[in-house]
Amino acid sequence: MGSYKVDVLALDDRPVVPIRDGEVRVKLAYISLDSSNLMWLKLLTGWMEEVHVDDIMKGSSIAFVETSKTDGFQVGYLVSGPINWSIRANISVDLSTLLNKNDSKPITTHLSIFSHVGRAAMIGMCYVGKIKAGESVLVSGAAGATGSLACKIAKAQKRKTARLLVLAAEKRSAIG
């Protein structure tokens, strides 16, 4: 651990390996930079699938299927999931979600409100916290991805929430 330098991540050319049964090759369209990446950069062990020095960084991403060796994932389909940050990557369909290309929502919402971040905020506020009428809500880490969405969910429940209290480095990013 220590301080991060500008060269902590590098743009690198690496060969794309052949896909195996049960995998698809995708072309990335969008990547998410969130707290998961910070945890991987710290090289913490025991936290999700580890990323080591010289590994390709990964993160929540949206990609188009280019080649498939599995049923149900056809060329042109749109998928999301934890994908290596590369122009093309091979991924297991077990860790991928098929997205509807014709959905009226922007596909980038699958990197925010409809991603692991949005699910964590929704579960925390609605299923764990179970906001009740007149209660005050405290969101710690409210300037982060999950915390800022939790604040928005609590604000949307204003008929129930008496007060929304936030702990954040910047007020503007938490409740904006």
Structure tokens at 106: 């922007």
Domain containing 51 equals 21-102
**DSSP classification of residue 17:** P
User: In this model, does residue 171 exceed pLDDT 60?
Assistant: no
**pLDDT confidence tier of residue 167, bands split at 50, 70 and 90:** confident
Question: Domain holding 148: CATH number?
Answer: 3.40.50.720
Over the stretch 41-53, which tens digit does the pLDDT of each residue have? 666 666 667 777 7
Over the stretch 11-35, which tens digit does the pLDDT of each residue have? 778 888 899 999 999 999 998 877 7
Q: Mark which of 102, 125, 150 sits at the end of a domain.
A: 102
Q: Which residues of 118-130 are buried (b: 16+ CB within 10 A; e: fewer)?
A: bebbbebbeeebe
Q: Determine contact, residues 82/61, Cβ cutoff 8 Å.
A: yes
**DSSP classification of residue 92:** E
Q: Mark which of 102, 135, 165 sits at the end of a domain.
A: 102
The whole-angstrom separation of Cα 55 and Cα 86 is: 11
Verify that 95 and 52 share a domain, yes or no: yes
Angle at the Cα of 176 from the Cα atoms of 155 and 152, rounded to 5 degrees? 25
**pLDDT confidence tier of residue 2, bands split at 50, 70 and 90:** low
Q: Mark which of 102, 134, 165 sits at the end of a domain.
A: 102
How many domains would you assign to the chain? 2
